[in-house]
Structure 1
Amino acid sequence: MRNSISRRTFAISAAVAPLAVSGLARAQEASDWLHTSTPSFSLYGRVGEKTLVNMAEDLEAFASLLRSLHGVDAQAEERPLPIYLVPRQPDLKRVQPSLTANIAGFYNASVGDIFAVLALEGDTERGRQVLFHEYTHHFMKQHAPAAYASWLVEGYAEYFMTARFKPDVVELGVTSPRIAWLRGAVWTPFDQILGRRARTGDRMDMAAFYAQSWLLTHYMMSDPARLARLTRYADAVAKGGDPVALMPEAAGVSFKDLERVLRQYMLALPGRRLPRPPSSAQPLTVTRLPASADDLLLENQRLKMGVPRAERPALLALIRERAARYPGDRLAEMTQARAENDYGDRDKAQALLKHRIEVDPRDVEALQTLGWSCMLQARTDPANAQQRLREAREWFGKGFAVDANNALLLYDYGISRRGDANYPNDNTVNVLLKAQALAPQVAQFRIAAADALVRRDRFDEAAAMVEPVFNDPHAGPQAAEARRRFDEAVARRKPAATSEEGDK
């Protein structure tokens, strides 16, 4: 009776019946949220239609520019990056309450989802630059992942965020808001800039890091010979080289003279002007989301990031209260199911999810979440763990039948096999590697794939898998886990000479 409504679900429905009339009427209303999509982006905005469309068109043009400059096939299949545009900075706190007032937006790449949120605050030009910056990170992790030096990770994003689209050309590197800081501040010595991570130090330290990293990147990319040396430098650092010691050779100038050279360079600041990528002739379609989006769209994204333990009871109560206003609404039911599954009543979560699957058997998100719920039950009910895991894989299998390239489904299926006696077999390794390949931005996908590779004595591959994480200035606490996995893989692999002698 997997698809039937349980007595408990019926009782809950009856309990909220007095609210059903007003709730249904509200659900039929529209929200303030608009949605549009392009090949590379799925944009949600509590902004005007013109602003949303202009942002979507510029972002797609920017994605085309990056693909062109980096030789990426325009037909390469990618999941469109979801972006949420809000009018004010305090709106961001509905997704990440700990954000400070000076943060205009952020990019999240976690097991829950990959997305970006941006507060426009009436300044669409600044908002566009922030999105270009964050999308550059996303693009490089997708198409050219490596253990880049932290200064280059941020300098590269700062360089491309300056793109300005004119009717026929794109201006790149012509100007930057960092110039004002560089002209008026005392610079930090470059040997300190090159050897640090971006997210360390006070506000002034971070300002110096971003500004000087941007200018050095601009300088290295403005000349073919310097660009070739920068490419060799990036490759050497990715292989374990010292990002500080290698710079004088790459820049062609000593540390003693580097600041003087860059200050002189900044006076001219030669930018690039490139042909504007052709835009699609198809006009964008804009739809308005149902009323539930006003109350729950951002809270749903907050759940996907994970919620600190102390904040969970209040958030769960808020979501229960708001979801009750919209009986039968997909966003309301999925948001409550996610909250109940992780922090509340897991039986209620599964009832909601099964209802969503009854409504739409091809709802991959509901299928994946229900499988994950069964996996959580397996952890808390050891006596029935194998049964719960079999149920999880049944739901994952239904999801695969709809979307065989869903990275989260692949990851969940892979880790559901960790209790197997022969874990990981060839199929499980391939599943985890595919999840990582589809969403290389997610550190946990890389760490899980590296763990499986180490268990199969594929140590070089495991080390290479996690290298991009521990140098990533945005990796957070997973950087330390990636470093541990890297060190383990390096320590366990056999030296080449030993292997050769053993083969004789």
Structure 2
Amino acid sequence: MGFGKWMAALAALGPPAPLQAAWNEVRAPHFIVYSQGSPDTVRRFVTDLERFDQAARKLLSYGDYEGDDPNPLTIFVVDNVDAIVKLCKGGEGKDKADKARADKACRYVAGFYDGRAEGSVAFVPRSAGGGSPLSLGAQTILFHEYAHHLLLANSLAVYPAWYVEGFAEFLSNVKLDRPGEVGIGLPAFSRAYSLFEQRPMPAREILTVNPSTLSPVDHVIFYGRAWLLTHYLSLGPSRKTELTEYLQAINKGEPNAEAAARIFGDFDVLDKELERYMRGKMPYLPVIVAPIPPERIRVRRLDPGEEALMPVRLQSKRMVDEETAPGVAEEARRLAAPWPSDPGAQIILAEAEYDAGNDDAAEAAADRALSANPAYGAAMIYKALAIMHRAEQANRHDDMVWRGARNWLLKANKIENDAAWPLILFYRSFIQQGSKPTPNAVAALERGVALVPQDDNVRMMLIGQYLRDRKIKEAKQLLSPLAFNPHAPPNNGARRLLDRINERGAEALSGWDMPAIETGPIELPPEKPEPKARK
């Protein structure tokens, strides 16, 4: 499908769909996509996602499953960037200070990705950028978010902030107009404004800055310049080996600034090279791909109950908090009431009730879903979650209750052997009970982390277990990417824990609680965040 046809496919998914438009679910080897639009159009859209996945894996020498990925990326396609911003804010119910923080954090977000044990998700707009080749379009946003998913799923390496975002920008600018081929690394025309009209952020700053400290305008400039540096070091006429040398150096423990200065040399020279490269003709990489068999793309119109609860599903999957969860659960109850025998509707209700702390109601909804579909793995998981949470509050020492919860998780595991969430919950059940995890439980956690390394807090569970088992080398290997995560806040708990391990070894946890890792979703800003004068 050519670029023009690809954009036509996106246009056929929108303009913004009316509320009564049908929702489709598309299942493919690496994706589950929810979108409104005609089934044939959504099928073509997801086929190109699979072509992109194949090209990216081939380019990066990443392996693949023989069948479907047991932990695919779920993509929610919503109307436009305004809908993305609303979801990013997390719904209503926050106090004034929280709302102000959410407004500031989400004001310039065009799409976002969140890696989770229960299923990694991305939220992207159906339409974005107004159709101009110089705007940040829906295709680029989607491929940018998927690039993060791929990188996190296939590497334990430490990457600096500029490369994390520069690589995602590099991979997301693609060409799909030739059968059997995907072009990767095309010029990022959507970043032209920041590259040519904004201040030329110097290489020294790009290489060392923490993006969370930048203003909105400089944050956008950083994305464009990070793309340019990545493109030049990957495909430029010189410096062919320097990027690999630099990444290897920082993964061996050399400080980022020192490695950059040693390998890239005079930063003023590098800046001049980047300016010349930006104004010249840039190469791209043509990657040969095989056709996607039509039977691998399965389209299903959502059942009426599922469709009615899509607004709740979107907000629940974005995640809720103590303030917003009750309102979401109330809306879920109202919308699900006409659909007691619809398993899809009832599992959405179960999730909303569980998030709101209503364990009995969550279990009841899961039971209704199981009555309609006895082999529904998600319903088994939510039933187990409700039992576990209730037991943690009232029956922590009743071993029979915990065994009952674990039996539901084992049943879910039999349905999908490589689904990560029931494996991780099986381990977590011992922690919630206050019992020592069995060797089988630890093995389940290890397998879960291998399946979804994108979930930082699950990784921290395993790091804590390794420290308790005095497996220091394994703990540090898992911890390093979190300690140097460019999206982490300044007071990074993982970095503090790594320093403590280096000082105290296996005694690092003595008298110290494991930190929660609060990086939040990975967000992509649009090209022009606000009309400010050039700096």
Q: Which bracket does the TM-score occupy, shorter chain normalised?
A: 0.7 to 0.9
| 1:92-107 matches, cutoff 5 A | 92=84, 93-94=86-87, 96-97=90-91, 98=102, 100-107=106-113
Is the partner of 2:77 in helix, strand or coil? Answer: strand
Per the alignment, residue 516 of structure 2 pairs with: none
Structure 2 gap ranges (5+): 1-19, 92-101, 507-535
CA contact (8 A) 1:31 1:293 kept: no
Per the alignment, residue 52 of structure 1 pairs with: 42
Q: Deviations over 1:93-120 (max 9, x none)?
A: 3574347353222111134431111112
CA contact (8 A) 2:87 2:318 kept: no
CA contact (8 A) 1:334 1:353 kept: yes
Structure 1 letter corresponding to 2:26: T
Distance 1:199 1:112, change over 3 A: farther
CA RMSD of aligned residues (A): 2.7
Distance 1:165 1:254, change over 3 A: same
Counterparts of 1:277 and 1:171 in 2: how far apart (Å)?
10
| 1:165-176 matches, cutoff 5 A | 165-168=176-179, 169-176=181-188
Q: Quote the offset at 1:172 in angstroms.
A: 2.7
CA contact (8 A) 1:45 1:85 kept: yes
Per the alignment, residue 173 of structure 2 pairs with: 162
Paired positions, count:
464
| 1:161-200 matches, cutoff 5 A | 161-168=172-179, 169-176=181-188, 177-200=190-213
Structure 1 letter corresponding to 2:184: L
The one of 272, 285, 288 aligned to 2:284:
272
Q: Quote the offset at 1:425 in angstroms.
A: 4.3
Q: Deviations over 1:148-171 (max 9, x none)?
A: 111111110011111111214433
Counterparts of 2:117 and 2:42 in 1: how far apart (Å)?
27
Counterparts of 2:428 and 2:326 in 1: how far apart (Å)?
28
Structure 1 letter corresponding to 2:80: R
Counterparts of 1:300 and 1:154 in 2: how far apart (Å)?
29
Asked if residue 136 in structure 1 is aligned to residue 147 in structure 2, the reply is yes
| 1:396-407 matches, cutoff 5 A | 396-407=409-420
Asked if residue 145 in structure 1 is aligned to residue 137 in structure 2, the reply is no
Counterparts of 1:58 and 1:383 in 2: how far apart (Å)?
49
Structure 2 letter corresponding to 1:167: R
Q: Deviations over 1:122-161 (max 9, x none)?
A: 6688111111111111111111232211111111001111
Q: Deviations over 1:33-81 (max 9, x none)?
A: 1122221112111134454233212211110111111222344562321
Per the alignment, residue 349 of structure 2 pairs with: 336
Distance 1:419 1:160, change over 3 A: closer
Distance 1:268 1:94, change over 3 A: closer
Distance 1:127 1:379, change over 3 A: same
Counterparts of 1:339 and 1:435 in 2: how far apart (Å)?
24
Counterparts of 1:420 and 1:343 in 2: how far apart (Å)?
21
Per the alignment, residue 72 of structure 1 pairs with: 62
Counterparts of 1:76 and 1:244 in 2: how far apart (Å)?
41
Counterparts of 1:146 and 1:263 in 2: how far apart (Å)?
30
Counterparts of 1:148 and 1:76 in 2: how far apart (Å)?
29
Counterparts of 1:476 and 1:376 in 2: how far apart (Å)?
30
Distance 1:65 1:250, change over 3 A: farther
CA contact (8 A) 2:59 2:287 kept: no
| Worse-superposed segment, 152-161 or 179-188 | 179-188
Counterparts of 2:396 and 2:454 in 1: how far apart (Å)?
36
Question: Of the two, which has the highest radius of gyration?
Answer: 1
| 1:59-458 matches, cutoff 5 A | 59-75=49-65, 78=69, 79-92=71-84, 93-94=86-87, 96-97=90-91, 98=102, 100-121=106-127, 126-168=137-179, 169-176=181-188, 177-223=190-236, 226-251=239-264, 253-282=265-294, 284-382=297-395, 384-418=397-431, 423-458=436-471
CA contact (8 A) 2:184 2:287 kept: no
CA contact (8 A) 2:24 2:299 kept: yes
Distance 1:48 1:88, change over 3 A: farther
- Name the TM-score, length of structure 1 as normaliser: 0.84
Distance 1:450 1:175, change over 3 A: same
Q: Quote the offset at 1:89 in angstroms.
A: 2.9
Q: Quote the offset at 1:257 in angstroms.
A: 2.2
CA contact (8 A) 1:334 1:352 kept: yes
Structure 2 letter corresponding to 1:117: F
- The share of aligned pairs that are identical, in percent, is 26
- Name the TM-score, length of structure 2 as normaliser: 0.80
Q: Quote the offset at 1:206 in angstroms.
A: 0.5
| Worse-superposed segment, 468-477 or 390-399 | 468-477
Counterparts of 1:421 and 1:185 in 2: how far apart (Å)?
56
Q: Deviations over 1:449-474 (max 9, x none)?
A: 11110100001111111222233334
